[in-house]
Each structure stands twice: as C-alpha cells, then as structure tokens.
Amino acid sequence: MRNRTILIVDDEPRSREGMKKMLASWASGAYELLTADNGFTALSIVEETAVDLMITDIRMPEINGLSLVAQMKDKRLARQPSVILISGHAEFEYAQQAIQLSVVNYLLKPVSREKLIAAVEDAIKAGEERDRIGLMRKMADPQLMAVAGGEANLSDPVKSAMQYVDEHMGEAVSLKEVADHIHLNGSYFSTLFKEQSGMTFSEYVVRRKLQKAKEMLVKTNLPIAEIAERVGYQTAKYFNKLFKEYETMSPGQYRTEMNKADTEIQK
C-alpha cells in the first residue's frame, strides 16, 4: 500500500521548505512530501505520481496557481488531487476563481502551522469522502440508477413489483408470481414494466440481485457460494456466469478490486 502524497508548489524557497518542514513533523512519515518550484514541474509530477493533495501558491511566474489547477483538471490523471491555494494577497477575484475550480481551501500568507495542518486535515477528509462517493458510484448499476432517478414517473404497480423483488431477494422470483401479487395480467405487466423501466422484468431482477451481491462482496467476508444463495441462486456456478456477463469479471475479482480501492481510501 502506498503512502498518501502531498505536493507543495511555491517558487519561493523559504515558503516552500517552511511548509514542508511544518508538515513533516505533523506527518511523522505517514505522508510522502514532494515539492516543486514552478507549475511545469508540478504538472509533470501529478502526471507521473498519484498525488492526494496539492498545496500551491497563486502568484508564480509562467503558470500561476489558478492556471496550474485548471490545467491539472483538464488532464486525464489517474488521480485528481484535492487542492489548497495559498496567496500573499486577500484578493476577492482569487477566491472566486478558487471556488469555481472546486479548491477545498484558500489560505493567506504567512500561514501558521496550526492553520496549515487544519487545512490539510480537512482537505484529506474531503478527498476521502470524494473517493468513497466514487467507489459507491463504481458499485452502482447505471441502469438501476436511471430507474431510481425516474421513480416519480413509475406507476404504483411497477413500484410494487420492484418492492416485491427486494423483499424476496433470496428467492427465485418469476414474472407470473409478481404479476399475480399485484393483480395484473402477466403479458400486460411485462409490457408495462419494460415501458416504464427501460428493461425487461427478468433483466431487472438479475441486475437487482447482482447489485445486492456486489454490496455483500465488498461489505462482508461471506463465501461467494453463500452470497449466491442469499440473492436467490442455488448454484454458485450459475451466479458466477451471470456476474461475469454483467460485470465483465468474476465475483472474486470484483471483491479483490473493490476492497483494494476501499483500502486505499481508508489508508
């Protein structure tokens, strides 16, 4: 597991090394501290290294801090760092641009040790929360998300059918069973469900079961065979086949990948 990385960008040596020294005593080796004396070097570093937090001065020659952040966001980086901007001048225009660039904090020089460390801790927490949200989005099925987003447009029978699927997650739910439950003709219910959800009822059931399985793969240490049973599949072999078809990887690979990502967030 890698250490988290903080990049300090400032063209003034005393300021740059001063911040590094303050953070070094606070970090106690838990963070790798990198420095750059200009924006070009900083861009090279974030392209080659997974930087968690960048602290940059605004007023620098050639590429100023605001331009550096804007250029960094335009790049397809493996990781977009959280950003703290530092300025020697309280200029409202800087603060406005910082907000537009989603900068997490804006500090004025001279920066005290207490304010710097407080800002760094807040920025790291914000980055972790952003990563957790990203992880949840990665876990979420986009088609189920689309259905949930348009829930207000779903009819009561379709909502009842979806609720029935959730309440019988550990069972093999059939279209006829659900149609009977909501007192609709099977053919009519099938057409209604597809019109409103954008997928067949059977596809919805599979996606909903696999979504539940993904949550258990990440949040529990249950064996894959037991997870398959808990979402209504009697054989792990068939569950594995369906999972790979929808997620392009096996349940075991998915668990490994997602747990690795979660460990990086918590580290």
Could you give the CA distance from residue 130 to residue 122 in angstroms, rounded to a whole number? 12
Give residue 99's pLDDT.
75
Q: What CATH number does the domain located at 4-134 have?
A: 3.40.50.2300
Contact 192, 179 (CB under 8 A): no
Residues of the chain with CATH 3.40.50.2300: 4-134
Q: pLDDT tens for residues 118-132?
A: 999 999 988 888 888
User: Is 80 exceeded by the pLDDT of residue 55?
Assistant: yes
pLDDT class for 262, splitting at 50, 70, 90?
low
What is the pTM (predicted TM-score) of this model?
0.68
DSSP-derived letter for residue 150 is T
Predicted pLDDT of residue 1: 43
Where residue 101 falls among pLDDT bands split at 50, 70, 90? confident
The superfamily CATH assigns to domain 142-266 is: Homeodomain-like (1.10.10.60)
CA neighbours within 13 Å on the CB side: how many for 220? 13
Q: In whole angstroms, what is the distance from residue 157 CA to residue 170 CA?
A: 21
Query: Contact, 61 vs 88, CB < 8 A?
Result: no
**Residue 136: count of CB within 10 angstroms of its CB:** 11
Computed over every residue of the chain, the mean pLDDT equals 91
Which range of 105-114, 171-180, 253-262 scores highest in mean pLDDT? It is 171-180
260: left (phi over 0), alpha (psi -120 to 50) or beta: alpha
Rounded percentage of the chain residues whose pLDDT exceeds 70: 97
Confidence of residue 133 (pLDDT cuts 50, 70, 90): confident
**Residue 32, SS3 per DSSP:** strand
For the chain, residues classed under CATH 1.10.10.60 are 142-266
